[in-house]
Structure 1
Amino acid sequence: MVRRAFLGWMGASVLSGTVMADEIKHPDIWLRDDQKEVFNTVLKKLDQIEKTVGYANFNILSFDEALKIAKNFSKIGAFSPSELAYIEEVFYTDPVIYGFYGKKTVEKLTSVVDEKEVVKIQGSGHYLFKGESQAALERIVKDIGKTVILTSGVRSVVKQLNLHLEKIRDEKGNITVATRSLVPPAYSYHTVGDFDVGKKGWGAQNFTAEFARTEEFWKLQKLAYISMRYTLGNGDGVRFEPWHVKIV
């Protein structure tokens, strides 16, 4: 990995409004009125599935497994044809219309995380792919110390779908803005090796530009063996993410 990529944002101050809120060049696309009911029911079922299988297991849960769980638990209920159609629309729609230009990382909605290829990171509730991702995190902790933690690792299609829909909800139905923060499920690098790190005890602040103010971040940017996926002004159209470690 090239250290220069990790430092590519350095021409601008992390204290500036430019970093905190990049200008959106694409017109906002909103959740349509005819989608709102099915959107809410899909999100509710995903939430119930996560509560059923547990937070950690949900991170690597496949779509087929999610369908089976929903069908077998009466409190959740099987996904309806309209709900499945909406999920497929979210997965297969080209996000260029939202101003996202990143590469597709998953071709199939039914893609599966091979449990033999991942390892659960103790105390985090997250998994990493064995090999380069696991080795990178271990080296980061060794070089910086235990104040740096894993905040998000492997994400299955179902996990990324849930995060993406939650962000749309949080943005009051603005899909364009949501996509710049949490990309659609077919386009997340978390499905192929990337992971997020943060400062221990910082909670949700780790997922803001404020993380770039921390000592942990400044130590990270001195490490020659890692780089940052989404630098300021990145070509994918994603917000500045100083916490996102690029692996692939």
Structure 2
Amino acid sequence: MNLHRRKFLSVLSATGLILGGCRTAYKPSGQAGPVEVAESGNEVFTYSNPLAGLDDEAIRDQLEQAVKPAPVKPTDVQLDAGQMSLLKQSVAHLEKVQKLVGHGNFALLGFDQMLRYARNYPAVGEFSPAELEFFEWIFETDARQYGFMGEKVISRLNENIKDHATIKVPYTGNYLYRDESLHLYRRLQKDVGEELVLTSGIRGVVKQLYLFLAKAVETQGDLALASRSLAPPGYSFHGIGDFDVGKRNLGYANFTAEFADTDVFERLVQLGYVDIRYTNGNKLGVRYEPWHIKVI
């Protein structure tokens, strides 16, 4: 058994979050039949089958999380009730950190910094061993096991973003890296016009962890389903340079395929030098994201 999974399960067992009885587990796509992974007499899930013109970052996050991903597939596996309890607890705890530091700062927050805030501010409180093991398990699990086929671009959970390498973009609540990302965004603003707006910039590991887990709550613990609309932590190119754009005042539709029908997107395509990270029909297990600008 994978070391991280063993540690995670042992903590769940110690905290009473593993339910009694056995649960069905599934092999990866193309391998028939159930697979038993024993831990204290229980079976555990493995994951299978690949399957914004907004100034307020809080509103932007709510809209992003409201986007409906692709339908559930028969082979999708959901976390059980005990794991769901820990998932919801962890998301609520991360929300306390975000409320304390602010949405903009939360996007740049490192994992070790988050732990220091939690220790030092009673309004947040320390993260429990079960939560920390859960975060590690989510980060270290190979996302291909549940259908996300993208590249892992950040290898360490405690990877930090250097403040001097970033700049806050006025009137957006978002940050960009000062090098290629900022240069490309300014070029797009000049070539497309004022209707183009930055809707999401840098997302550190903590921010991506929070967004992914919040999406997993929304999908009732189906990590495969969550990963079709939000990259798992460590797999998001927002952590190393990519950014999202939209059309001013388009709101929610900036995070749907409807953005591809706008004049702003048409002008982006006509420029000839813009690449979209997740194209229509991509083989990465990710929905079409016409707003996601590829930088790296």
Match of 2:194 among 141, 146, 158: 146
1:173 CA drift (Å): 2.1
Structure 2 unmatched ranges of 5 or more: 1-67
CA offsets per residue over residues 218-247 of structure 1, 9 Å max, x none?
111111222000001212111100000001
Match of 1:185 among 228, 233, 238: 233
**Pair 1:126-2:170 in alignment:** no
Match of 1:224 in 2: 272
Match of 1:74 in 2: 122
Structure 1 unmatched ranges of 5 or more: 1-19
1:204 CA drift (Å): 2.2
* 1:174–1:142 CA distance, 2 compared to 1 (3 A): same
Letter in 2 for 1:59: A
* 1:47–1:215 CA distance, 2 compared to 1 (3 A): same
Match of 2:148 among 100, 118, 138: 100
Q: Alignment partner of 1:164: what SS? A: helix
Aligned mates of 1:177, 1:221 — CA distance in 2: 29
Aligned mates of 1:169, 1:201 — CA distance in 2: 28
Letter in 2 for 1:244: H
* 1:21–1:232 CA distance, 2 compared to 1 (3 A): farther
1:54 CA drift (Å): 0.6
Q: Alignment partner of 1:79: what SS? A: coil
Give the structure-2-normalised TM-score: 0.74
CA offsets per residue over residues 97-149 of structure 1, 9 Å max, x none?
22111111100000000111111101111111111110111011111111110
Letter in 1 for 2:196: V
Question: Is the CA contact 2:69–2:228 (under 8 Å) kept in the aligned structure 1?
Answer: no
1:38 CA drift (Å): 1.5
Q: Alignment partner of 1:108: what SS? A: coil
Match of 2:220 in 1: 172
**Pair 1:162-2:210 in alignment:** yes
Moved over 3 A (4+): 20-26
Aligned mates of 2:127, 2:72 — CA distance in 1: 34
Q: Alignment partner of 1:221: what SS? A: helix
Q: Alignment partner of 2:197: what SS? A: strand
Match of 1:11 in 2: none
Match of 1:64 among 112, 136, 149: 112
Higher RCO, 1 or 2 (CA under 8 Å, sep at least 6)? 1
Match of 2:137 in 1: 89
Q: Alignment partner of 2:79: what SS? A: coil
The total of aligned residue pairs comes to: 229
Letter in 2 for 1:50: Q
Aligned mates of 1:125, 1:32 — CA distance in 2: 36
Aligned mates of 2:284, 2:157 — CA distance in 1: 22
Identity %: 43
Q: Alignment partner of 2:226: what SS? A: helix
Match of 2:165 in 1: 117
CA offsets per residue over residues 153-201 of structure 1, 9 Å max, x none?
1110000001101111122222111101101111000011100001111
Aligned mates of 2:203, 2:131 — CA distance in 1: 21
Aligned mates of 2:82, 2:70 — CA distance in 1: 30
Aligned mates of 1:26, 1:135 — CA distance in 2: 44
- Report which stretch shifted further, 79-88 or 200-209: 200-209
**Pair 1:49-2:97 in alignment:** yes
1:29 CA drift (Å): 1.9
CA offsets per residue over residues 76-104 of structure 1, 9 Å max, x none?
21001000000001101111122111111
The structure with more radius of gyration? 2
Question: Is the CA contact 1:128–1:193 (under 8 Å) kept in the aligned structure 2?
Answer: yes
Q: Alignment partner of 1:86: what SS? A: helix
Aligned mates of 2:72, 2:187 — CA distance in 1: 36
Aligned mates of 2:148, 2:119 — CA distance in 1: 34
